[in-house]
Amino acid sequence: MTIMSAPIPIGSDTLGWPIPAVLHAITVSLPTWSDNVGYLSGQTAVVDSMSTGYPRFFIHRSVQKLADVCQEKFGLSGERCLPCPTQKTAEHGKEFIHSQALLTGKPSDVRIVHYAIHPVGDSDPSSTLQGTSGFSVVSQSIPPQSAEVFALFFHADTYKVARQFWQNCGLGISSRYAEHCLSVLGFAGFPMVQNSEFLRACGKSTSRTFGTDLIPKSLDASERLLATGADAKAALRQRMASCLVRDESPADAQTNVSEDDIFLFPSGMSAIWNAHQLLLASRPPGKSVVFGFPYTDTVKIVEKSGPGAIFYGHGRDCDIDDLDALLARKAAEDPSVPPLLALYTECSSNPRLCTVDIPRLRALADKYDFLIVIDETIGTFANVDVLPYADIIATSLSKYVCGYATALGGSLVINPRMRHHALLKEHLTSTFEDTYFTPDALVMERNSRDFLERMRIINANTEYICNFLHMHSIEGGASESEGAVIKQVLYPKYMTPENYQVCRRRLPTGELDPENGGYGGLFSVTFTSMKASHAFYDALEVAKGPSLGTTFTLSCPYTLLGHYWELEWAAEYGVEEGLVRVSIGTEDKEVLLRAVDTALRAAKSA
């Protein structure tokens, strides 16, 4: 088994190419500011150039082909469909689409078709089973030569609502599973191979690439993919648990995270969605708080599921004062139930890289008996330790743990230190459905093996670049009258550093971990003008597209991609339209510095 390296498309001629240039890449090249605007506004020339995209926002070609097959076989006039991997997922999708369609005045009828797929020539009459409600009995063990899909059918006018389910909840099928289904059906070219005409074109590009390990090196016998999905998932959970254990003394054994406390999901957002469903099902009903400005879909999940959300987008100390007063009033009104279901926050936040006062929030949670869910994707468990504060830790494994932008994945850690651990773990264990497709898990496990090693390089590289940019920023002392165009470098070292220090990874002695515990690999930059933002982004010679946490440096105009239709709202919380987000990779730091310096010069000349 050998995994070959692949080019990283860099340059203005790479619009729409997968990054890296492989068929299951999870990001796509959007090399100029205008390309991003064109993509978001639906400009035909840009949209037609997109070969792929981030999987929750862009339907992969394999998934779309499978949807077309379902549409042709089962669709009615005026309908569209989206394929789901399991009955349970389809049921959630049906409920989501129906409720959101009613709210938006769209047709709300949704039906589900179970499509049991067998190889071409199989005359089994039960190979396709259709229903408008309810489900046929499904085998719990689908052999490798078979597959199944639960297709959601809805009115074409409701398609945008259905896509919100796909995007917000992260429960759609993966491109690898779609390829498997198409292969079983006997479609030519499936499973897709690496020598497609499109990828050959990528390989011939004159675009630049940095000299770095772009995807895993060729594997020797000791580094091969594990034999089964169960082995891969167990190894991944064990690896994560070992990173989370701080003290292996017998006295702390019962409160250390074990692999049994970790649950894997097909994406980071599906992990957060499942965390919210777990809390809604196991705790007294109530609204949840989203504290600080988080990744956009976290807010949408909490708003659209259950009683709703209370949003404290600034995440300031005075907001904690307001929250404390609100909880006190609610507790006084009805002391019999907790005044809040849960509080969601990030460590650190995306894209402002702030850290809220988590110990103070933990004290409120203990006082008023609500739960805290912390998404540590940006900080990573290589750098931060939120076990003293979180009931549940959520992670998008697609980012730093994967590292190579070739697979999605997510996880939840049910914290054994917290008093509701037994309740949460028992409920999640009894309801858990493993929808993480084996080939995706195999790739994730293999990619994760050098996670800590990568993070040490990324931490050092990012601090080096941020120190340079901060020195040239107005906040860092540079003068706008003398040509400074950077207003602020948003990075945990400079943004609420006292709160980040509390969460940094430490040794059992309390000292900072000398090998880990850095500031992470993500930062954002704000500029004095939109012209400077555009010029910096366009001139920055790195890969450009959505996502983060990769071995190759990756940049995007985050506010555009995340909040294009709500720019004024985002600006109210300090998320500026011209913000440029950069995820630093493992390249040589001097090569990176030259690229950043060149972009900064372009911004000053704009």
Q: What CA–CA distances, in Å, run from 366 to 91, 342, 370, 414, 419?
A: 35, 11, 7, 17, 9
- Total domain count, the chain: 2
Task: Express as a percent the part of the chain with pLDDT over 70.
Answer: 87
Q: Are residues 398 and 538 in the same domain?
A: no
pLDDT band with cut points at 50, 70 and 90 for residue 515: confident
CA–CA gap between residue 164 and residue 155 (Å, rounded): 15
Evaluate if residue 326 carries a pLDDT over 50. yes
Strand partners, 410: 265, 396
Of 425, 448, 471, the one marking the end of a domain is 448
Q: Are residues 395 and 479 in the same domain?
A: no
Q: Please, how many CA atoms are within 13 Å of residue 490, restricted to the half-sphere of its CB?
A: 24
Q: Are residues 465 and 601 in the same domain?
A: yes
Burial group, residue 45, by CB count within 10 angstroms (0-12, 13-18, 19+)? exposed
Q: Are residues 481 and 427 in the same domain?
A: no
Of 407, 424, 448, the one marking the end of a domain is 448
35-49 pLDDT per residue, tens: 999 999 999 999 999
**Residue 217 domain-assigned (yes or no):** no
Q: Are residues 344 and 381 in the same domain?
A: yes
Stretch 346-368: mean pLDDT, rounded?
A: 98
Evaluate if residue 577 carries a pLDDT over 50. yes
CA–CA gap between residue 67 and residue 81 (Å, rounded): 6
**Residue 221 domain-assigned (yes or no):** no
Q: Are residues 460 and 394 in the same domain?
A: no
549-562 pLDDT per residue, tens: 999 999 999 999 99
Q: Are residues 278 and 409 in the same domain?
A: yes
The residue segments making up the domain with residue 598 are: 451-605
pLDDT band with cut points at 50, 70 and 90 for residue 120: low
Q: What CA–CA distances, in Å, run from 380 to 92, 264, 402, 477?
A: 29, 16, 12, 30
pLDDT at 245: 78
Q: Are residues 455 and 554 in the same domain?
A: yes
**Residue 429 domain-assigned (yes or no):** yes
Task: Please tell me the least confidently modeled range out of 76-80, 225-229, 309-313, 579-583.
Answer: 225-229
The residue behind tokens 């070959």 is 4
pLDDT at 63: 96
The residue behind tokens 């998320």 is 575
**Residue 430 domain-assigned (yes or no):** yes
pTM of this prediction? 0.92
CA–CA gap between residue 125 and residue 120 (Å, rounded): 13
pLDDT band with cut points at 50, 70 and 90 for residue 503: very high
* 236: alpha, beta or left? (left if phi > 0; alpha if psi -120 to 50): alpha
What's the CATH code of the domain at 461? 3.90.1150.10
pLDDT at 47: 93
Q: Are residues 336 and 251 in the same domain?
A: yes
Q: Are residues 427 and 475 in the same domain?
A: no
Q: Are residues 434 and 392 in the same domain?
A: yes
SS3 call for 392: strand
Kindly state the tokens that stand for 29: 């090249």
287 neighbors 307 (Cβ within 8 angstroms): yes
**Residue 11 domain-assigned (yes or no):** no
Kindly state the tokens that stand for 96: 């989501």
**Residue 62 domain-assigned (yes or no):** no
What's the CATH code of the domain at 254? 3.40.640.10
**Residue 471 domain-assigned (yes or no):** yes
**Residue 132 domain-assigned (yes or no):** no
Of 448, 478, 494, the one marking the end of a domain is 448
CA–CA gap between residue 145 and residue 167 (Å, rounded): 29
